[in-house]
Chain A
Amino acid sequence: MSRDATLFRPDPVVVQDDQPQTLQGLREMARLNRVDAARMFMAAGNGHFGSCFSCAEIFATLFFNVLRIAVENPNWSNRDRFILSKGHAAPALYSALIRRGFMPEAWMDEFEAKVGAKLMTHPSRRYQNGVDASTGALGHGLSLAVGMALAARIDQRDYRNYVLLGDGELHEGSIWEAAASAAKYKLDNLVAIVDANGLCVDGTLNQVMPIEPLASKWTAFGWEVEELDGHDIQTLLAALDIERGPRGGMPRVVIARTVKGRGVSFMQDVRGWHADVITPAQYQRVLEELQEPLV
């Protein structure tokens, strides 16, 4: 497998602090998110294409509009927190952080490629600036976010706490332990986003372990639920950019209906592209299909 990731050089990487606020700009960031993820996977020879491509719009919305973070002070105590609970979508997070200037662009081409590589399959705050929690084992992120949201409450700070969950991840019982505790403690400074692409590793969720109806499950757990098209940035913006401060006492979950592998025709909704090996020819096709922002 070729490790030549220099086949294609996308646009200048770092987005300055006058970040794109426009819908068009965010769509472009979602496009670049997919391009960057593919670039990293090409460096490794394989990767979780489907899992990253389903949440590119979510990353664009959060990291280029919603989140209050500061590249010059990554550990700013009043920053908004973001936890990637579905840690295998790490390249989508890396792309966002690199384009915000938290990490060097050159790291992309070393993704998983050598001992001591800074970027690996799952995010790690040991090695990566801007990562709020190391994840990878599923079912952990919501508990961490509950702890962070509680800390914000106790310290009377107005930072918000975001966590991105996979829908397959909702099979983990610990998620529901955490969901119950967020409602008990009325953590309205907490937003969980479910990347509901309907596929897990072995097949569709319906085949492997049905979890629907999602909305009524979360409602029953005491959450404020919004269900939307997870590729529609305009809708995502409205749903994710919650008010700071008291908001009625309910944690919010955004059930983002997405398509796994979205944006690349031969990957879309294909189980096998949860994670797979990629050839240079396939990589070229990916880049060709990702030349224009999706609408």
Chain B
Amino acid sequence: MTSAFNQPAEAHHDNCTNQLRKTIANLRACYPSRIISEQFGRSMVQCAADYPQLIAVTADLMHATGMASFGSQFPARLINVGVAEQNMAGVAAGLACCGKLPVACGYAAFTSLRAVEQAKVDCAYNEVKVILAGLSAGLSYGVGGPTHQTYEDVAIMRAIPNMIVVVPSDAVEVDQALRACLDHSGAAPIFLRLGRGPEHTFNAPDAPFAIGRARRMRDGAEASIIANGSMVFEALLASDALAQLGIRASVVNMHTVKPIDTTAVLREAALCKAMIVVEEHSVIGGLGSAVLEVLRGGHAFPVECIGINDIYPPIGPTPELREALGLHADNIAACTLRLLQQVGHAIDTPGTINSNAKRQVQEHTA
């Protein structure tokens, strides 16, 4: 707590955050989970019939990337190059040069680092559409430690000209994003950043998904929370809990980091009093940076980027690790409160929600 707040405000703030924590825990329990790698594998199998040119290329990660079923159903369409990520990306580019629709299925850590020159030269510079599916990204393989945790991949891939970067937020969006990538008409590779284990499912299967077009999932003009990947769910929980305090925070699912939806960012900037950007990635070079590049400093409101602060995170199970690093709805909500207080936005205590806020909450929960 900063010294800028006097004691009553501090107590008030603590009161609010305790309330938020309880609400968030209750809300979290309402959502089912699905395993991301399994969903990716299922979606690939389903897409095989619709996309006859679809080929999976993997680097001894057929099982880990959920491709075992694809491999057994379509053995001729799964190329396994062994533990050789550079070759995986190069072979995929060669296939794409000859009209195939290759999806290189690897771990984000290795695809983005070991095969980065192939991603740049063979795929992006060569102007071929290769989908570089990077699984186990972020902290989703938290126990793997810093070799397998991945927090620089978006920054790296985003800096490559002609590379598209898509970060879906749940199993439903993994399916939608994969299909959107396969349908994408550009002569450009796509880095499809995916998680690994169970993630909460909240997207509607029939909601439209378009690469480069953000989805506004909650409305609100006080604060704006922009998130992608696993952090969209945390942002939603934070927003829904804040709504119970009468605070309306919008949630924007920025599933495409590049090309970023500039219009969506500027729309938030025109409305909000504070902005929070959340990602399971380094604060250097990822979504937060991309949003700030759009704002270009021309904003009067505070912006907080929540991410991994240029450290090698500790080792641990994913949910606990995320929480420990502040990649959690509690921290997002607390951060939102703090920023709003900073800009002098009055916050009601839970017991004294004003009538206007009450009405908003009722509308929201209806």
A interface vs B, CB < 8 Å? 77, 81, 124-126, 132-137, 139-140, 142-152, 154-155, 173-174, 177-178, 180-181, 184-185
Set of chain A residues within 8 Å of B292, measured between Cβ atoms? none
Cβ < 8 Å to A, chain B residues 65-86:
76-77, 79, 81-82, 84, 86
Contact: B84 with A181, CB < 8 Å?
Answer: yes
User: How long is the Cα–Cα vector from A154 to B75 in the complex, in angstroms?
Assistant: 11
> CB within 8 A of B122: which of A126, A140, A151, A152?
A140
Contact: A146 with B121, CB < 8 Å?
Answer: no
> B225 on the interface (CB 8 Å rule)?
no
> CB within 8 A of B86: which of A126, A133, A135, A143?
A143
Set of chain A residues within 8 Å of B98, measured between Cβ atoms? 77, 81, 147-148, 151-152, 155
User: How long is the Cα–Cα vector from A52 to B87 in the complex, in angstroms?
Assistant: 26
Contact: A140 with B90, CB < 8 Å?
Answer: yes
Known: A126-B127, A151-B100, A177-B82. 15 other contacts (CB 8 A): A133-B97, A133-B122, A140-B90, A144-B94, A144-B97, A147-B93, A148-B95, A150-B95, A151-B97, A151-B99, A174-B90, A177-B84, A177-B86, A181-B81, A185-B79
For B86, B89, B100, B118, the residue with the greatest tally of chain A CB atoms inside 10 Å of its CB is B86
Contact: B126 with A134, CB < 8 Å?
Answer: yes
> CB within 8 A of A146: which of B55, B77, B90, B118?
B90
Known contacts: A125-B127, A133-B126. The answer to whether A144 contacts B93 by CB under 8 A is yes
Q: What 6 pairs between A and B have smallest CB-CB spacing?
A: A147-B94, A143-B90, A151-B98, A177-B84, A177-B87, A144-B94
User: Quick one: CB contact mask for B90-127 with A, threshold 8 Å, 1 for yes?
Assistant: 11111111111010000000000000011001100111
Contact: A177 with B127, CB < 8 Å?
Answer: no
Set of chain A residues within 8 Å of B90, measured between Cβ atoms? 140, 142-144, 146-147, 174, 178
B58 to chain A, nearest CB (A): 12
For A139, A143, A155, A180, the residue with the greatest tally of chain B CB atoms inside 10 Å of its CB is A143
Set of chain B residues within 8 Å of A137, measured between Cβ atoms? 117, 121
Contact: A134 with B121, CB < 8 Å?
Answer: yes
Can you list 27 residue pairs at the A/B interface with Cβ under 8 Å?
Answer: A81-B98, A124-B125, A125-B126, A125-B127, A132-B97, A133-B97, A133-B126, A134-B126, A136-B121, A139-B86, A140-B121, A142-B90, A143-B86, A143-B89, A143-B91, A143-B122, A144-B122, A147-B94, A147-B102, A151-B97, A154-B76, A155-B98, A174-B118, A177-B84, A178-B87, A178-B90, A181-B79
User: How long is the Cα–Cα vector from A173 to B85 in the complex, in angstroms?
Assistant: 11
Set of chain B residues within 8 Å of A173, measured between Cβ atoms? 86
Contact: A135 with B97, CB < 8 Å?
Answer: no
Please count how many residues in chain B sit with their CB below 8 Å of the partner chain's CB atoms. 29
A90 to chain B, nearest CB (A): 14
For B76, B79, B94, B102, the residue with the greatest tally of chain A CB atoms inside 10 Å of its CB is B94
> CB within 8 A of B87: which of A133, A143, A149?
A143
Q: For B87, give the chain A residue with the smallest CB separation.
A: A177
B352 to chain A, nearest CB (A): 64
User: How long is the Cα–Cα vector from A57 to B97 in the complex, in angstroms?
Assistant: 27
Set of chain B residues within 8 Å of A81, measured between Cβ atoms? 97-98
Set of chain A residues within 8 Å of B92, measured between Cβ atoms? 147
A120 to chain B, nearest CB (A): 13
Contact: A146 with B100, CB < 8 Å?
Answer: no
Contact: B87 with A148, CB < 8 Å?
Answer: no
Known contacts: A126-B125, A151-B94. The answer to whether A140 contacts B84 by CB under 8 A is no
Q: For B98, give the chain A residue with the smallest CB separation.
A: A151
A145 to chain B, nearest CB (A): 6
For A77, A148, A149, the residue with the greatest tally of chain B CB atoms inside 10 Å of its CB is A148
Contact: A180 with B82, CB < 8 Å?
Answer: yes
Contact: A154 with B94, CB < 8 Å?
Answer: no
Set of chain A residues within 8 Å of B84, measured between Cβ atoms? 174, 177, 180-181
A1 to chain B, nearest CB (A): 29
B156 to chain A, nearest CB (A): 16
Q: For A146, give the chain B residue with the smallest CB separation.
A: B91
For A77, A135, A150, A184, the residue with the greatest tally of chain B CB atoms inside 10 Å of its CB is A150
> CB within 8 A of B81: which of A125, A132, A177?
A177
User: How long is the Cα–Cα vector from A158 to B126 in the complex, in angstroms?
Assistant: 24
Q: For A148, give the chain B residue with the smallest CB separation.
A: B94
Set of chain B residues within 8 Å of A177, measured between Cβ atoms? 81-82, 84, 86-87
Q: For B118, give the chain A residue with the smallest CB separation.
A: A140
Known contacts: A77-B99, A147-B98, A151-B99. The answer to whether A178 contacts B121 by CB under 8 A is no
User: How long is the Cα–Cα vector from A81 to B97 in the complex, in angstroms?
Assistant: 10
For B82, B118, B122, the residue with the greatest tally of chain A CB atoms inside 10 Å of its CB is B122
B53 to chain A, nearest CB (A): 9
Set of chain A residues within 8 Å of B121, measured between Cβ atoms? 134-137, 140
User: How long is the Cα–Cα vector from A144 to B96 in the complex, in angstroms?
Assistant: 9
> CB within 8 A of A150: which of B79, B89, B117?
B79
Known contacts: A146-B90, A181-B91. The answer to whether A134 contacts B125 by CB under 8 A is yes
User: How long is the Cα–Cα vector from A146 to B92 in the complex, in angstroms?
Assistant: 9
Q: For A138, give the chain B residue with the smallest CB separation.
A: B117
User: How long is the Cα–Cα vector from A147 to B87 in the complex, in angstroms?
Assistant: 9
A85 to chain B, nearest CB (A): 10
